[in-house]
Every structure is written in structure tokens, then in C-alpha cells.
Amino acid sequence: MLKAEDFRSTTWKRLTQTLEERLQELRELNDSPSFSAEKTALIRGGIGELKRILSLAEKASLSPAVDPDELSGVDEQGPE
């Protein structure tokens, strides 16, 4: 499962930009009256999937920040 910090990376930001550009392209195609019902359904399916991927960041920001159990063993230092 992805965590909130995963969505702050430069990779996620670049991916988001690419996905948003593709989403815009598909929306413009969807507005074209020249496509068949099947083609329009495929375009709408692509739009839905892109929106689902882009919404992952929102879902991660709504989840608890960190479960304390996840931190066990991280940076543990012995007695000083």
C-alpha cells in the first residue's frame, strides 16, 4: 500500500503531470461526436482509470500518517 510520503516524490509529481496531460487528451477525444458508442466507452474507461490512479494521493492523505508498529526496529539505538 502506498503511503502519503510516496506522493511527495519527484517521480510521483512527474507521473501526475503525465497522467493529467493524458486525461485532458482523452477528455477532448470524448467530446468528439465522430466516435462509435464502443470507442466512446473505451475512452470513458480510460478517463475513469486515470482519475482512479490520480486519486490515490488523496486517499493516502486521508489515512493515518504512520502506524507506530511500522516504526518498530527503525532507528533503534541501544542504551547510551
Measured CA distances, 72 to 2, 6, 26, 45, 67 (Å)? 19, 20, 45, 42, 10
User: Measured between alpha carbons, how far is 9 from 29 in angstroms, rounded to an integer?
Assistant: 30
Query: Does 41 map to a domain?
Result: yes
Residues of the chain with pLDDT under 70: 61-80
User: Measured between alpha carbons, how far is 39 from 27 in angstroms, rounded to an integer?
Assistant: 13
Into how many domains does the chain fold? 1
Query: Does 75 map to a domain?
Result: no
**The pLDDT value given to residue 79:** 53
**The pLDDT value given to residue 57:** 87
**The pLDDT value given to residue 70:** 56
Query: Does 79 map to a domain?
Result: no
Query: Does 26 map to a domain?
Result: yes
30: containing domain: 4-63
Query: Does 77 map to a domain?
Result: no
pTM score of the predicted model: 0.71
